[in-house]
Structure 1
Amino acid sequence: MSTVLLLIHLMIAIALVGIILLQRSEGGALGIGGGGGGFMTGRSAGNALTKTTAILATCFFITSLLLSILAGRPGGTPTILGPAGEGGLAPIEVPAAPPTSQAPSAPPPTAPPAPAPAAPQTPQPPQSQ
């Protein structure tokens, strides 16, 4: 039921976008578009595109409400977003790594420290005997 309603909703949305793009601009946006005439002239009052837009918009709102009601019912179509037990899929549980009984391994051997630089030797006076 919800799949059929969703497909109808998508077709209405596509038709609504197409009908809106077919309409002529009434002006007022950045000073471009149609000019002259009043707000409700005979041309705009009974325009077929305007009536079609209103009908499609009403159908769009009705299908939106029906889809939201169907999504909120318990036992509805399972989704990945809902929690388990309320129509959603159960979360995936990743098993934990088994505990190791070994002692932690020793750190890797390091190179022996470099010998300290020799201190500069000062010449000693010769010793006499």
Structure 2
Amino acid sequence: MTTVLMTLHLLVTIALIAVVLIQRSEGGGLGIGSSQGMGSFMTGRGTANLLTRSTAGLATAFMLLSLLLAVMNRGAVGGNGGHDILANPPPPAPVATQPVAPAVPAPQTSAPVTQP
């Protein structure tokens, strides 16, 4: 079931990218969706309405599939059996049981300072 939904999600994602790239943006963009480029298939306004509606539909399908896949796979990712790592923090590190001897400073040897 997850494989089918992932495949459908991939197809919706590719279609959404294609539809967004086809649209004419305010600054010109790719502008593939113009009426001259479509061979007078639809008017400029009709093309814009079709692309806008298809973008909204694909975006809705993308979001619903994303949420559905997230709910289906919750707890299955990470290989820790579905346990939350923040719910059960690891135990603290064991404290050394042997006493530590204090550091003994090295004896200072005073060498005679000779001046030439």
TM-score, normalisation: structure 2 = 0.50
Percent of aligned pairs sharing the same letter: 35
Q: Which one has the bigger helix percentage?
A: 2
- 1:3–1:77 CA distance, 2 compared to 1 (3 A): farther
Letter of the 1:10 counterpart: L
Deviation of 1:68 after TM superposition, in Å, equals 3.9
* Structure having the larger proportion of residues in strand: 1
Question: What secondary structure does 2:18 align onto?
Answer: helix
* Moved beyond 4 Å, runs of 4+: 89-95
Return 5+ residue gaps in structure 1 as ranges. 35-41, 116-129
* SS of residue matched to 1:18: helix
Supply the distance in 2 between the matched residues of 1:10 and 1:108 (Cα, whole angstroms).
68
Pair member with larger Rg: 1
CA gap 1:4/1:93 in 2 versus in 1, 3 angstroms = farther
- Give ranges in structure 2 of 5+ residues lacking alignment: 32-42, 112-116
Change (3 A) 1:104 1:62: closer
The answer for the alignment partner of 2:45 in structure 1 is: 44
What is the RMSD computed on CA atoms of the aligned residues? 3.9
The residue aligned with 2:13 is 13
Tell me the number of residue pairs that the alignment of Structure 1 and Structure 2 aligns: 96
Aligned position for 1:65: 67
Query: How big is each residue's C-alpha offset from its partner over 1:79-115, in whole Å with a ceiling of 9 and x where there is no partner?
Result: 33xxx77x336678578447433x3123043242759
1:20 CA displacement: 0.5
Letter paired with 1:100: T
Q: Give the TM-score of the pair, scaled to structure 1.
A: 0.47
Q: Give the deviation of 1:19 after TM superposition.
A: 1.8
Match of 1:53 in 2: 55
